[in-house]
Amino acid sequence: MSSEEAVDHDGRYWQTTLTLGFHLLSDRSADLARNGLEVVELPAASIGGLTRETAADLIRSGHVHALLGQDESLWLEVKREHYPVKQLRGKVRLAGVVAQFANSPGGGLVVVGLETRKVDGVDVIDAVTPQPPDPMTRRRYVKALKDHIFPPPEGLTIAVVHVDQPTPGVLVLVFIPDQPEQLRPSLVHGAIVDGEAQGAFISIYRRGDSEAVATSPAAIHSTLAAGRALLRRGQIPTSAKEESS
C-alpha cells in the first residue's frame, strides 16, 4: 500500500491511497512490475485532469496501458491502425484530423495504435493495437502533412514509439501544440467528397465534441473578408455591406 499527496492547478488538495494485490502464481515478475508502475503513473499524471502532454509522456515512457478506459476527447483522437498515407484518401484524412486540432484552442494528440469501443455513446480506449515496424512510417506521415496542411502547425512533432505488449510493434504519436491565432485557420489541401478523396478541394476543420466539424462557407467568407478589410483600411468590417463598400 502507498499514499501520495498533491495539490492540483486549482489549489485543490488530493490524497491518493493505493492498495495492490497480485496472484504470484499467475503473473510474471515483469508483468507485475509493469502493472504496478502503470497504476502509480496514471493518478500522478491525472491530478487536475489528463492532458495531451501527460498522455504523450505516459506513452513515450512505456505506460500506454495506463490510458485504457480513457475517453476520446476534444484533444485526443486515436486510431486502431495506420492512416493509409500511401494513398490520397489516407493523406487527406490524416491532414484533416491534425488540422482540426490546429484550428481548435488547446491543440491535441493523435495516437495510432489504440482501439476504442462505444460506452454509453462515448468512444473509450479499449485495447492497444501495435502496428508493424516500418522505418519509413515517420517519413510518410511527415510528408503527408507537409503536402496537405498550410500553414504547417508550429511545434508539431511526430514520434514512433516501440512497445512490447500485447505484441511487439509501434505506436505513432502526432502532437499538435496550441497554435497562435494568427496562424489559423490551417487549410487542408484535399477533401473527402461522397466518400472519395478529391485533391482539388480545400477543407477547413475544427474539433467539436471529439468529432471533426467542417467550417461553414459563411465562416470562411467572414474570415477572408475581415482579413481583406484589415489590409485595406486597417479595420475589421462590422457587416457584409461595409465589407463590400
Dihedral of CA 196/198/203/206: which sign?
Answer: positive
Return the pLDDT at 230. 72
Rounded to whole angstroms, how far apart are CA atoms 131 and 79? 11
Query: Quick one: what percent of the chain has pLDDT higher than 90?
Result: 53
Rounded to whole angstroms, how far apart are CA atoms 109 and 97? 10
Return the pLDDT at 13. 52
Listing DSSP states for the chain in one string gives -EEEEEE-TTS-EEEEEE-----TTTS-HHHHHHHHHHHHHHHHHHTT---HHHHHHHHHTT-GGGGTTPBP-SSEEEESS---TTSHHHHHHHHHHHHHHHTSTT-EEEEESEEEEEETTEEEEEEE-PBPP-TTHHHHHHHHHHHHEESPPTT-EEEEEEE-SSSSEEEEEEEEPPPPGGGPPPEEEEEEETTEEEEEEEE-EEEETTEEEEPPHHHHHHHHHHHHHHHHHSS--SSHHHHH-
Residue 104 inside a domain? The answer is yes
- Which of the residue ranges 109-123, 137-151, 209-223 would you say has the lowest mean pLDDT? 209-223
Residue 57 inside a domain? The answer is no
Residue 175 inside a domain? The answer is yes
Return the pLDDT at 31. 56
Residue 171 inside a domain? The answer is yes
Q: How far is CA 4 from the centre of its chain?
A: 29
Binning pLDDT at 50, 70 and 90, where does residue 210 land?
A: very low
Residue with the larger pLDDT of the pair 129 and 21: 129
Q: Give pTM, 2 decimals.
A: 0.73
Do 20 and 141 share a domain, yes or no? Answer: no
Return the pLDDT at 64. 94
Binning pLDDT at 50, 70 and 90, where does residue 185 land?
A: confident
Residue 55 inside a domain? The answer is no
In the predicted model, is pLDDT for residue 37 greater than 80?
no
Residue 220 inside a domain? The answer is yes
Do 79 and 98 share a domain, yes or no? Answer: yes
Return the pLDDT at 20. 55
Mean of the per-residue pLDDT values of the chain: 80
The 10 Å CB-count burial string (b at 16+, else e) for 17-39 is: eeeeeeeeeeeeeeeeebeeebe
Residue 62 inside a domain? The answer is no
The dihedral formed by the CA atoms of 136, 79, 50 and 97, expressed in degrees to the nearest 10: 80
Residue with the larger pLDDT of the pair 195 and 135: 135
Do 83 and 180 share a domain, yes or no? Answer: yes
Do 221 and 207 share a domain, yes or no? Answer: no
Return the pLDDT at 195. 80
CATH number of domain containing 93:
3.30.950.30
Domain range for 243: 215-245
Question: 204, 214 in Cβ contact below 8 A?
Answer: yes
Residues 6+ apart with CB under 8 A from 14: 5, 6, 7, 8, 47
Give the model confidence (pLDDT) of 41-60 as tens digits: 555 444 446 899 999 999 99
Give the model confidence (pLDDT) of 55-103 as tens digits: 999 999 999 998 999 999 999 999 999 999 999 999 999 999 999 999 9
Do 96 and 202 share a domain, yes or no? Answer: yes
Tally of structural domains, the chain: 3
Residue 61 inside a domain? The answer is no
